[in-house]
Chains A and B, each alone.
Chain A
Amino acid sequence: MATLTPEVLDTEEPGSHEATGGLWSWITTVDHKRIGLMYGGTAMFFFLLGGIEALFIRLQLAVPDGTVLTSDQYNQLFTMHGTTMVFLVIMPLAAAFGNYLLPLMIGARDVAFPRMNAMSYWVFLFGGIFLSSSFFLGGFPDGGWFGYAPLSTQSEVIRMDFWAIGLLILGIASLAGAVNFTTTIFTMRAPGMSMFKMPVFVWMQLVVAFLLLFSLPVITVALFEVLFDRNFGTLFFDPAAGGDPILYQHLFWLFGHPEVYILILPSMGIISEVLPVFSRKPLFGYQFVVFAGAAIALLGFGVWSHHMFTSGLGPVAESAFSLTTMFIAVPTGIKIFNWIGTTWGGKISLKTPMLFSLGFIAMFTIGGLSGVTHAVVPADTQQTDTYYVVAHFHYVLFGGAMFGIFAGIYYWWPKISGRYLSETLGKWHFWLMLLGFNLTFAPQHWLGLQGMARRTAVYPPDIGLDTLNMVSTIGAFTIAVSMLPFLYAMFVNSRKGLAAPADAWDGRTLEWSISSPPPHHNFHEVPHVEAIDDFWHQKYGEDEEGRAVRIKTFPEPSRYTDEYIHLPSPSYYPIMLAAGLVLMAYGFVFAPLGIPLFVIGALVLFGGAFGWAQEDPDHPMGDHADHHADAHEGTETGDEAQAGADASGDVSSDDVSSEDVKTGEVEVAADESGGDDV
């Protein structure tokens, strides 16, 4: 039986508690689009922070015997640069795209658990602040971004406590997000959208969610063991007592290698959406791209030990992991050929999103090829902990993941804001970044092969490292300069940009069928999907020669509707829960002085959870009983009732079985009764 509790209107009428303005409405929002924007904005801020850290590193290394930083400062900066870029930039940016786009692409009104989604964001934000605040509280963590024990367990100061607890907190955000996305994709797709009619971006988000689900718990355990070794005298990684630091390496890389795919797959999904649109061709080999993504995920769990070839695993283990590492290049290669095949013979339009996507393919291929060289154990032994490895993973994570993310920003910004970003500025951004990127990281291949060790604050003069290091530093500052046109386009120029229609690029997926910016409830009517790229097939047919011919033009969709559409109501419990968590973290780090803070945090956390459990998700912010009069008998909006109930997930006022909806039995129940308290 369905209940339509229509106090949430999408019209911006005064008194509606989902009014668009005001800080409070952002703090309590459970709208996946707003949460996506907050994720993106926060991650971009951390991107600038991490970039500044990188610039300091490059300044120090510009000339031999650099004196810009002390080696202690250098240790802190490279640790935080890595930790920030991985956990506070690329992962949350992927979450930002996932949040904003998943429901739009699968034809849903929200994710499965809107409040949990809000909690993920606040936990991420507070976790990021917690981690970064260590700068003012004794210094950044300084044990490297993978925090190898016993280095991470033995340093006396609290820095690595910040690191371990910070990552534990961020892990909670990611795990909740992964559960949420998995459930959303499995249970909330629009009618007719079978798994193999989903956009590739959605597939890649599903694969990433799986990787997170099954790899995060392992690093959680590794971090707990480090934390216990540091604070409670356990001996997990103390060789003198029989502990084994190699166990830490296993646990870290059991997470760490899937993590690599967690970082790259969302961008692969993004360019798999961009390339077809700007080539005006369907994605070449959809099934292959999907299966290759799944194969990468599966194999991604079986290659972790190639990070540990120099730890003495023994020849059998080394050979086995060498083989799996070579194998994983196969599905990756399949994808690259599919992308090239997509552009082959297409009507290519070199707009900024397309440029970044093509940049992705080229840079990622270079990074992928240098990655395969690590599979060869003797070669890897030479390359380990040199700048060759640094060059490799920047080619896949910057040239790959970040280029894909920029492609996505330029591609979907018209949908988000209703205005195009400037093409001129975008092209400056792309070409400067491509130039700067290659200047920075290409020389590092040679530096590494000449034996320059990573994580070392100084190198002596006259051993052939001077010139390339200087080139690399110049490149890093070129990247910094390339960010200026981007930031200008985003913050200054975007209000003056060309107004974008709903279907800004003649797109293929469902998000282009709704207004730009999208309505609060996403879809006036939940779409029925019949094919891959359903929206495209509604617009285009084929003539006798197989060319696409426009068969239908849609009127510009309105952002508003007269219908009342059920949406989950805002809640302040998610931010309360997240705040409790971070208070506990500060309390723990500063124990015993911090114990009262820890207790307060625990109480806030418990209060948040208990309030959350009891909150009626339909009107937590006070009494909205006056809206009852507006209830309409929703027989003819059965689909919307269904989507509304689906959209609210854990929070819908009642369950709606789809069959009830089909028969149009939609019952308006009084909120208080709820009808089903047990």
Chain B
Amino acid sequence: MSTVETTSSTREHPTEKRYWLIALFLGIVTAIEIAIAYIPDLNRTVLTVGLVGLGILKFGVVVGWFMHLRFENKTMSRLFAIGLILALSLFFVVLATFSGILAS
């Protein structure tokens, strides 16, 4: 904290062409998601893991590049990470108490 730096975030930022490629990638992932959802008789676990995995991938790409959190300082990514992790863990526990897993 004692060293003071000017953030020159423009330097590391992806180029315009890179943004288009990222968008193309996101579009393709979305198409795959929809395709997976339509595969008949797909094992439910495989479906869930596949869709959640692809969702996380899209989420990460948008946060990392479009929101350029990859290029920001640690304070910002930690603030967001705390919210994300708390939301996931707290509501996992809440739903678990309803599901009966914790009842026996």
Contacts and interface: CB of A to CB of B under 8 A. Distances in A.
Interface of A: 182, 186, 189, 191-195, 210, 213-214, 218, 244, 246-247, 250, 254, 301, 305, 313-317, 320, 657-659, 662
Contacts of B94: 247, 250, 254
24 contacts: A182-B79, A192-B2, A194-B1, A195-B1, A214-B83, A214-B86, A218-B90, A246-B98, A247-B94, A247-B98, A250-B94, A313-B103, A314-B97, A314-B100, A314-B102, A314-B104, A315-B103, A316-B102, A316-B103, A317-B103, A320-B102, A657-B6, A659-B4, A659-B5
Contacts, number: 54
Contacts of A658: 4, 6
B10 interface: no
B43 interface: no
A235 B61 CA distance: 37
A186 B75 contact: yes
B83 A317 contact: no
Given A182-B79, A254-B90, A317 B2 contact: no
B8 to A, nearest CB: 9
B88 interface: no
B35 to A, nearest CB: 33
Contacts of A189: 1
Contacts of A195: 1
Given A192-B2, A214-B83, A316-B102, 12 more contacts: A189-B1, A194-B1, A213-B83, A313-B102, A314-B100, A314-B104, A315-B103, A316-B103, A316-B104, A317-B102, A320-B102, A662-B4
A192 B3 CA distance: 9
Interface in B50-104: 75, 79, 82-83, 86, 90, 94, 96-98, 100-104
Contacts of A317: 96-97, 102-103
A259 B75 CA distance: 24
Of the four ranges (under 10, 10 to 19, 20 to 34, 35 or more), the interface on chain B belongs to: 20 to 34
Interface centre among A246, A250, A305 (most CB of B within 10 A): A250
A181 B44 CA distance: 46
Nearest to A658: B4
A659 B6 contact: yes
Contacts of A247: 94, 98
Interface string B3-20: 011100000000000000
A247 B98 CA distance: 9
A313 B94 CA distance: 10
Contacts of B6: 657-659
Contacts of B79: 182, 213
Nearest to A314: B103
A246 B4 CA distance: 50
B97 A210 contact: no
Nearest to B78: A186
B86 A244 contact: no
Q: Which 9 A-B pairs have CB atoms at the shortest separation, nearest pair first?
A: A314-B103, A317-B102, A658-B4, A316-B102, A657-B6, A194-B1, A250-B94, A317-B97, A314-B102
A35 to B, nearest CB: 24
Nearest to B100: A314
Contacts of B100: 314
B98 A305 contact: no
Contacts of A213: 79, 83
Nearest to A320: B102
Contacts of B101: 316
Contacts of B104: 314-316
Contacts of A320: 102
Interface centre among B82, B96, B97 (most CB of A within 10 A): B97
Nearest to A655: B6
A551 to B, nearest CB: 24
Contacts of A218: 90
Contacts of A662: 4
A195 B98 CA distance: 41
Contacts of B83: 213-214
Contacts of A186: 75
A195 B2 CA distance: 10
Contacts of A316: 101-104
A483 B75 CA distance: 43
Contacts of B98: 244, 246-247
Contacts of A246: 98
A214 B85 CA distance: 11
A320 to B, nearest CB: 7
A191 B2 contact: yes
Contacts of A182: 79
Nearest to A210: B82
A657 B8 CA distance: 10
